[in-house]
Structure 1
């Protein structure tokens, strides 16, 4: 059943890629790089889900399997999703705040690396220490999003600022969801079996990389139609 869930994501992701490509042909004032960002995220994630579905990207450590394909996916897509949020939060501003992009990358990468270290660890102490450090990195990520990025976002025209808040809240909730599933699932406490962990990871991934991106792009296109993307 795990393979079925993994292949399901591949199919959904490729369908979303085709849909975003279609949108990009009529960008409606949204920069083409915004579409490309969503497409790259989906293609990269689909590749690693396909590899895992074919039985690759995993290794056995002690008495459990480590599916490191997830981390190969996340270490690229987590910073890119953060960057996509920054693009939206600063879309109508003259300064694009590359410093915020660097901060999101700096906090996202340790979050993923710590997850892998915890998954590979044989000793519970090491595992949960790594998990704790990863949670701290996630908190640092939230500080960036809800601190300087939110302050930048509310300087935009009101409709753009209003779009940023629920978008940031959804991304934050999904990141927190991954963290909780890791803890309760196969990599952590093992309270949830591997198939269920895979299923929940896939559902969260669809919400994060398909639904979240579609909501962002759709609203940006609508705001562009109403001339709310003018630089201020």
Structure 2
């Protein structure tokens, strides 16, 4: 059953990539970079889901199986999703916030690495200590998104602000969802078994990497082109 869920993501992500490639031919004022970023996120994630569906990218620890393929996926896609959010939050501004990209990348990578360390830990104390560090990294991520990035986004025209707020909210909720799924799954409390955790991770991945990315690009394409929206 786990393989079915993993392959389902591969199929859905592949379809989304083809749709984005179609959009690239007519970007409608949205930078091609933003389209390519979404495509790279989907392709990278689909590769690792396919590897796991074929039985790879996992090891057995003392108490459960560690699917390290998830972390190989997340270590790249988490900071790239943050980068995509920064691009949207500064879409209509002339000055880009490289500092925010770096901050979100650092907090995202720290969050993922903490999850991997906790997953590999054989004893509860280091496992939940690593989980706590990951939660702090997530909290720091939220501070960046809802602090300086939100303030930067507020300098944009009203229609861009109206797009950014729910987009940032959805990404925040989905990141929190992954954190809770990890805690409830075999890596944490064991409330969810491995197949159920796989299904939850796939559903969250579809929402985060397919639905979120497509909604972002589609809305940007419906708004005025970049020059029209630029406010400085």
TM range (shorter): over 0.9
| 2:216 counterpart residue number | 216
The equivalent of 1:52 in structure 2 is: 52
The aligned runs of 1:126-205 (5 Å cut-off) are: 126-205=126-205
Residue 72 of structure 1 is matched in structure 2 by 72
Cα distance in 1 for residues equivalent to 2:59 and 2:5: 19
Distance 1:226 1:38, change over 3 A: closer
Answer whether contact 2:41 2:209 (CA < 8 A) is retained: yes
Q: Distance in 2 between matches of 1:63 and 1:148?
A: 42
User: Could you tell me the TM-score, scaled by structure 1's length?
Assistant: 0.98
Q: Is the contact made by 1:37 and 1:80 (CA closer than 8 Å) also made in structure 2?
A: yes
Partner in structure 2 of residue 103 of structure 1: 103
Q: 1:129 to 1:18 in 2, by over 3 A?
A: same
The number of residue pairs the alignment matches comes to 232
Q: Is the 8 A contact 1:14 1:46 kept in 2?
A: yes
SS in 2 for 1:30: coil
Distance 2:222 2:53 in 1: 37
Conserved 8 A contact 1:185-1:193 = yes
Secondary structure of the corresponding residue to residue 26 of structure 1:
coil
1:106-117 aligned within 5 A: 106-117=106-117
Structure 2 unaligned residues grouped into runs of 5+: none
RMSD: 1.1
1:159–1:228: 8 Å Cα contact kept in structure 2? no
Q: C-alpha distance in 1, partners of 2:70/2:18?
A: 23
C-alpha displacement of 1:229: 2.7
Q: What is the deviation of 1:230?
A: 2.7
Once the two structures are TM-superposed, the CA of residue 207 in structure 1 deviates from its matched residue by 0.1
Q: State how far apart, in whole Å, the 1-side matches of 2:64 and 2:6 are.
A: 19
Aligned structure 1 segments of 4 or more residues deviating by more than 2 angstroms = 224-232
How does the TM-score come out when normalised to structure 2? Answer: 0.98
Q: Is the deviation greater in 221-230 or in 23-32? A: 221-230
Contact preservation (8 Å) 2:59, 2:67: yes
CA distance in 2, matches of 1:115, 1:227: 41
Q: Which whole-Å CA distance do the structure 1 matches of 2:146 and 2:12 have between them?
A: 30
Rounded to whole Å, the distance in 2 between the matches of 1:226 and 1:39 is 20
| Counterpart-to-counterpart distance in 2, 1:26 and 1:116 | 40
Where do 5+ consecutive residues of structure 1 fail to align?
A: none
Q: Indicate the SS of the match to 1:224.
A: coil
